[in-house]
């Protein structure tokens, strides 16, 4: 390269580097700072606008879902009313809705028992469980509190509080027996034997326009307390 060409190249490099080094006037600096901040703010607003619906769509509707009342047939309710010393199996259709799927319907069942006295039932249950929750005749759920004994009936979940199997009523020994690990419960659902950490779980019952309805609640298994997991 000729000396003249080398000189020209060096001059050009000096010019470029001095353009980068030169911060410009105070007005130019403040304009650049303003533009940079404005870009950040606009980008943030756009990002937030996109993020809110995306995050919202990822939260399952079930997390805020309330329970659904399922009607019993008149025949089942009649059976329950005439029951005396053994539980009545009450079947119903459980409708549930997952946020990403259409409404699902599945068959479920609970056990209904007739009690002579709500006070006596609660006293027995308190003695059997010894848990503070049974000092109160109600349990919490999505709509507030429900009566454990309602219209002189108690509805018991069909799910074993140990690990979720289905105890069945055995008339020969007058008790519920769980086929999985041998937990046993008396007619009132009190825990008698086996690894279950608590008695069978009561569920809400109500009467609407002459029709009895129950609400399905799934409680956490393996712990002494009743912690609601879901209503489906």
Question: Is 194 a residue that touches ligand FES (CB under 6 A)?
Answer: yes
DSSP 56-81: HHHS-GGGGPPP-EEEPPHHHHHHHH
Question: Is 196 a residue that touches ligand FES (CB under 6 A)?
Answer: yes
Comparing CB distances to ligand FES, the nearer of 114 and 162 is 162
Least CB distance from residue 126 to ligand FES, whole Å?
23
Comparing CB distances to ligand FES, the nearer of 118 and 165 is 165
Least CB distance from residue 183 to ligand FES, whole Å?
4
CA distance 68 to 52: 29
Candidates 83, 142, 165, 192; binder of ligand FES (CB under 6 A) is 165
User: CA 128 → CA 131, 154, 164, 175, distances in Å?
Assistant: 9, 16, 21, 15
Least CB distance from residue 221 to ligand FES, whole Å?
7
Question: Is 180 a residue that touches ligand FES (CB under 6 A)?
Answer: yes
User: Is the CB of residue 90 less than 8 Å from the CB of residue 81?
Assistant: no
Candidates 80, 110, 122, 178; binder of ligand FES (CB under 6 A) is 178
User: Is the CB of residue 119 less than 8 Å from the CB of residue 127?
Assistant: no
Candidates 14, 32, 95, 181; binder of ligand FES (CB under 6 A) is 181
Q: E strands along the chain, which residues?
A: 69-71, 88-96, 104-114, 138-141, 144-147, 153-157, 168-170, 175-177, 184-185, 191-193, 202-203, 205-208, 211-215, 218-219, 228-230
Residue carrying the six token digits 């007058």: 174
Q: Of the ranges 30-38, 78-86, 103-111, 162-170, which one interacts with ligand FES (CB under 6 A)?
A: 162-170
Question: Is 163 a residue that touches ligand FES (CB under 6 A)?
Answer: yes
Comparing CB distances to ligand FES, the nearer of 67 and 199 is 199
Least CB distance from residue 86 to ligand FES, whole Å?
20
User: CA 217 → CA 50, 87, 101, 145, distances in Å?
Assistant: 36, 19, 20, 13
Q: Of the ranges 22-30, 37-45, 142-150, 158-166, which one interacts with ligand FES (CB under 6 A)?
A: 158-166
Q: State the residues that interact with ligand FES by CB under 6 A.
A: 160, 162-165, 178, 180-183, 194-196
């Amino acid at each position: 390269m000729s000396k003249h060409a080398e000189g020209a190249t060096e001059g050009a490099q000096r010019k470029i580097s001095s353009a980068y080094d030169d911060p410009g006037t105070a007005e130019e600096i403040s304009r650049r700072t303003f533009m940079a901040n404005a870009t950040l703010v606009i980008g943030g607003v756009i990002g937030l606008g996109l993020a809110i619906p995306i995050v919202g769509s990822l939260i399952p509707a079930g997390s805020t879902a309330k329970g659904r009342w399922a009607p019993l047939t008149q025949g089942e309710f009649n059976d329950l009313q005439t029951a005396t010393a053994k539980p009545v199996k009450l079947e119903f259709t459980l409708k549930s809705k997952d946020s990403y799927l259409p409404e699902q319907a599945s068959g479920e069942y609970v056990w209904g028992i007739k009690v002579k006295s709500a006070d006596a039932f609660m006293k027995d249950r308190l003695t059997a469980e010894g848990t503070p929750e049974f000092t109160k005749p109600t349990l919490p759920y999505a709509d507030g509190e429900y009566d454990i004994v309602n219209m002189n009936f108690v509805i018991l979940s069909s799910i074993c509080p140990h690990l979720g199997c289905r105890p069945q009523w055995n008339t020969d020994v007058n008790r519920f027996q769980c086929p999985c690990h041998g937990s046993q419960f008396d007619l009132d659902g009190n825990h008698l034997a086996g690894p279950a950490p608590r008695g069978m779980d009561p569920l809400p019952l109500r009467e609407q326009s002459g029709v009895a309805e129950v609400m399905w609640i799934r409680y956490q298994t393996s712990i002494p307390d009743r912690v609601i997991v879901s209503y489906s």
